[in-house]
């Protein structure tokens, strides 16, 4: 069996991240109905408030992770599989973040820190890949 190409792994993780984001949106909608919070209100019940904050925070974080994932995928260092792995761990970190935040906002820190570490890993991979590409282009 040959190795699975990094772009296929990255595309799969990207879809999983999108599905998770859709889940957070559906969860907000369901809790809006459950607690009778009419749009455009963005608060009203603690359970809704926490779920609502998880959704935009996840969207904000997607704006960091997805470009870094794809730059690291298109300009890979020799270990290209690390980028989709880091993005998959990022997704797991967002689940930890959501579960912690829903239980108690103070419990979101572990997931937030894991998310940040994954972002940093992807940033370093992207920088390394771009540096290698520039080195090859200028050689």
> Higher pLDDT residue, 2 or 63?
63
Residue 126: CB atoms within 10 Å? 22
Average pLDDT over residues 11-18: 98
pTM above 0.85, yes or no: yes
Dist CA 110 CA 96 (whole Å): 7
pLDDT tens profile 76-118: 888 889 999 999 999 999 999 999 999 999 999 999 999 999 9
Measured from the Cβ of residue 130, the count of other Cβ atoms closer than 10 Å reads: 14
Crossing angle (nearest 10°) for helices 6-34 and 46-74? 170
CA gap 51, 47 in Å, rounded: 6
Are 83 and 63 contacting, i.e. CB atoms less than 8 angstroms apart? no
Q: What is the pLDDT at residue 2? A: 58
Mean pLDDT of the 41-60 span:
97
Mean pLDDT, residues 28-41 taken together: 96
Residue 75 in this model has a pLDDT that exceeds 70: yes
Q: Where are the domains of the chain?
A: 14-21+56-133
Note the pLDDT of residue 1: 42
């Amino acid at each position: 069996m040959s190795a699975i190409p990094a772009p296929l792994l990255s595309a799969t993780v990207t879809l999983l991240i999108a599905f998770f984001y859709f889940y957070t949106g559906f969860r907000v909608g369901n809790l809006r109905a459950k607690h009778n919070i009419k749009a455009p209100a963005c608060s009203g019940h603690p359970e809704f408030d926490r779920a609502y904050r998880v959704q935009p925070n996840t969207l904000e974080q997607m704006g960091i992770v997805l470009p870094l994932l794809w730059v690291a995928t298109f300009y890979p260092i020799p270990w290209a599989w690390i980028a989709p792995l880091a993005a998959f761990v990022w997704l797991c970190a967002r689940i930890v973040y959501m579960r912690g935040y829903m239980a108690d906002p103070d419990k979101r820190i572990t997931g937030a820190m894991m998310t940040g570490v994954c972002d940093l890993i992807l940033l370093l991979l992207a920088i390394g890949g771009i540096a290698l590409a520039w080195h090859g282009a200028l050689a």
